[in-house]
Structure 1
Amino acid sequence: MLRIIRWAWVITLLASVALAQQADAKKTAKDSPERRPAEAKVQTIKPAHGDVIRNFFVTGELRAERAVQVSVPSIRSSFASMVSFLAPEGSPIKPGERLVEFDASALTSQKSEAERRLDEAKLKIKKTKADLDAQETDFLNGVAQAEANLKVAQLYAKTPPELLAANTYQKYQLDLERAQLSLQKAKEQLDNFQKSRPTQMALVEIDEAQAEIDLKKIDGDLGLLTIAAPQEGIVIYGDNWANNRKIQVGDNLFPGMPVVELPDLSSMQVVGFVYDTELSFFSKGMRCSFSLDAVPGSQYGGAIVSLTSVASRKGFASQHKVFRAVIQPDKVDTVLMKPGMTVRVAVGMKLASGTTTIPREFLGVDAQGRYYVLKKTEKTEPAKQTVEVGALGDSLVEVRAGVSSSDSLLPVQRVWED
């Protein structure tokens, strides 16, 4: 029993020693230089003269300055045209390739009807010519018969009067006059017929000419229904205003509506949408930068080349009216830049020039809405100084009163380094 008590006492002693060593190790590690909090490193600055710049951001999209627009043809025999084929949107196309086609079923039936009318007109001309030839033959026969009757009457009229009874002689003389009048009348009828024959032929030929004109119009309209690409480019569909979407196969479109656009990719520009509250900050010739939403990290420079003075609808389906700022890129990337891409445009505005400025993180606002700075002093706590602020830029702030160039300022939000 005594032996067991002795071993228990030894174990307790060893455990106490181990706990004491562990406590000393923790204290040593806690007090080591590596574990002490780093001194707060506070950055100070002095007010300096500089420019206060603020970036204004607007959205926009890429568009081609030069583009060929293909519109719905004006079909004389039809008011609306239905799209039956469209080249795939976004696909490259070469000159002469099939671009757009419209339904030709209505014109095909009209062409068949016009051809039937033309055939009927030609048959009518042939029939009229045959009828006129027959009438002319009748008139010629009438003249020949009148001439023969005149010759017979002349023979009887030459008989001496002493050989005939008085009344018989008078009868032969009257027959001669009657034969002469009959011949004259027959010749007049023939002459009138020959003069009127071209007119009668022209009347029936008008129907043929009109049928030919109608057929040529239909053939011309059929040729307009198939449109080949006039130049190389990328296919961009037009907007269907009635259905509030892009044009697609099966749409009935009216003459003059844009169907497809083939942009010249080397003439890409940015069209920025500027609202009236921001218009005063923009002007022609201003430098700007823009990035493509579809290409993260992209950054391009450019300049505003034009700015509309009248607001218009942002899009055919939008009720918002905006001004349009056209920006010419310094360099056009034909590989990445495609029509319709959304763009974010940044325009740097110089709000103040050559004025006293401080970084924005060195400016604070108290509960009363007053601006202040923290001046470094010999004391531990900095001095809080109310200041008069002018223009507020993205990184710098104009300070009109309350600081001098010799002041050392502390950031309002101190940064502690671990």
Structure 2
Amino acid sequence: KHRQVTAAGPGGVGKTRLALAVAADLADDFPDGVWFVDLVPVTDPGRVGAAVAAAVGAGDQPGRDIDDAVLAALAEHRALLVLDNCEQVRDGVAPFLERLLTACPRLYVLATSRARLMVPFERVFPVPPLSRDGGDESDAVALFMDRAAAVGWPPGPTVSEGVVAICERLDGMALAIELAAARWSTLGLDGLTAGLSDQLRTLSGGARADDRHRSVRAVLDWSHDLLEPQDRALLRRVSVFVTPFTADAAAEVAAFTPLDASAVFDGLGRLAEQNLLSVTPSETGTRYQARETIRQYGTERLTDAGERTVVRSRHAQWCLAAAEALSGSGDADWRVRFDAVADDVRAALAWAADRPERREDACRLARLLAGLAFTRNLLGEAQQRYEQAARLAGDAAGASALREAAAVA
């Protein structure tokens, strides 16, 4: 066995699907547990260890770095750690893993990334597209059939040859197949074949590896173009959320011209029907989330529409309101509510801190997050955020008071 395997491949090829399947198959081999950590919400490479600590239940302790707490917690464990979406914080993942695998000799790590992580223990597994071998018995066709049936109209045997051809045109890319299958009930074989052929022809050419990426991009463009204008606006605006979000949160951020709150609520359901958003129940209500490839696509569209600044600003205001509500709350579900929004607050803070015109908002966010982190017993982060707030404070007295708070934390 290899201590650390990186499942590498382009966005949409099915890395997360593969990692979850492997973890499920190997669960019995790891008596001390299997942990899954999604790194999409982590915007600061220095917080990779904190994300792992939250997943494995390693508490922050005074005088101990959070990374050290993780090493101590896992030192004797025979366990599997699955780190998903490592590429955006690779500079933080690589040194953390090197320390972790050295200090925890019985620990194994399965990572997913668009590129190798370049750590000493690493074995890279290039994730292939879904197999098209076997025609209508192939893995690619099975996924298409399953997703088409989920939207209410399972393809019959008379169209199996056409479905095989669609999966072949999409290079077996899992995300592209799922998005195409979601349109089966409204377009049928002829509509899918014609629409995809036009889109793929536009993006054709280049190396084969690039063609696989183009297959996903083509289907994203095609799926986007089939949406009503209001739903296009909603998809790009909710891409600002880095963690699963509620309908009310989406309305706070996305409900401005041409959308109102009712259009947001209705649009979330339509986007979910088209596999552009996933829907999951939680302790704090139904939540929606776009897979990372779709979220990045939405972010591109947000920039193209000239809405990035206004949507990021509305997201920051929503985060401020959420943090202020938590600061004054003593509810029994406080911890769950904090964990549900903390990564969005961190992302909003990172965005605001880099913009002089948002300095006041950034200081408030840092100060609020510092207090919340302290209450949550994230002592290292509390100190970090108080120090950040002190740097952002506009007056000497305020900065001094915040530095004193940091010393206490």
TM-score (norm 2): 0.18
Structure having the higher strand fraction is: 1
TM-score (norm 1): 0.18
Relative contact order (C-alpha < 8 Å, sep 6+): which is higher? 1
Structure having the higher helix fraction is: 2
Which has the higher Rg, Structure 1 or Structure 2? 1
